[in-house]
Structure 1
Amino acid sequence: MSLVDLESSSVDTPADVLVVREFLAALARTDVDTAAAYLHSEIAWHNVSLPILRGYPLVTRVLRQLARPGLRFDVIMHHAAGEYGMVLTERTDLLGVGPLNAEFWVCGTFELRDGKIAVWRDYFSIRDVVRGILVGAARAVTGRRGGRGTGYLSEVTALRD
């Protein structure tokens, strides 16, 4: 289970923040149909420094490819704030394939239109991604899978407790 489910604020959480939290939680569960329901028909998904993916058909096709067996996505939401149709997130993402898990920090900006995500823009450090891959590869070689029970994600969880 993704911690994005467990960290929802108890009061005064704007509806747009809840949309983004539920969207990311659905992706972590590999429930692409539920995640896609939160997307605007004119969605633009931009992982900064990579090409922008535009339109519901293309974005949902890529999300379905990323939800294939053997691939994993998880997220820990550290902070989320929103107003006037904009939501900013600070989180740790985990991407996995086979025995390899890469964990890295991401700052996301979500622009909502009519209650749906119209722009999804993620910023991350390539250095952190490369570090996450190298640490994940070392864990895979030594038999430690990483992820929620070890490494950065567990350190972040311990800090909150």
Structure 2
Amino acid sequence: MSDEQPAVITVREFFGALELGVVDEAVELLDPAIVWKNTSLPTVRGKNRVAKLLRGLNRPKLGFSADMHHIAADGDIVLTDRTDYLHVGPVRIGFWVTGTFELRDGRIVLWDDHFSKGNVLRGTLVGVVKAITGR
């Protein structure tokens, strides 16, 4: 049996569903009043809007995955330290992200990610070079 807190399990299940491309399972873990924040991007409010964006990442030539480096919780607040990957055709763009998740009644009500634009640019360049060189 796992010693992980329920909130950590929920966040892990959320990322696992996204990586497997079962977006509807991920969406079921969201509160109807979800707020999704990303550094310098518009805030997305509401389960339907977040679901639409997540489904947009689940296409044949577009995808998402993440390596979870650290995850910790204090009650219903979960902090993550991870590398996210956006897959665009043969290009895999990796960048470091810290996230804060707040849960209410077992569902994610806040998803607040922070990342560096410079790190995303570097990840894009590295991904393009690797796609071209096959390394």
Count, aligned residues: 135
| CA RMSD after TM alignment | 1.0
1:46 aligned residue: 37
Mapping 1:1-161, distance limit 5 Å: 11-144=2-135
| Shift, 1:19, TM fit | 0.2
Q: Measure, in 2, the Cα distance between the counterparts of 1:18 and 1:84.
A: 12
Write the deviation string for residues 37-58 of structure 1: whole angstroms up to 9, x where unpaired: 1000000111121110000111
Amino acid at match of 1:106: V
Write the deviation string for residues 102-154 of structure 1: whole angstroms up to 9, x where unpaired: 1111100000011100000110111110000000011111123xxxxxxxxxx
Query: Which secondary structure does the structure 1 equivalent of 2:56 belong to?
Result: helix
Q: Measure, in 2, the Cα distance between the counterparts of 1:88 and 1:98.
A: 30
Query: Which secondary structure does the structure 2 equivalent of 1:50 belong to?
Result: coil
Gaps of 5+ in 2: none
Moved over 6 A (4+): none
Write the deviation string for residues 25-77 of structure 1: whole angstroms up to 9, x where unpaired: 10011110110010000001111211100001111011111111111211111
TM-score, structure 1 as length reference? 0.81
| Shift, 1:12, TM fit | 2.1
Q: Give the strand-richer structure, 1 or 2.
A: 2
TM-score, structure 2 as length reference? 0.96
Identity %: 50
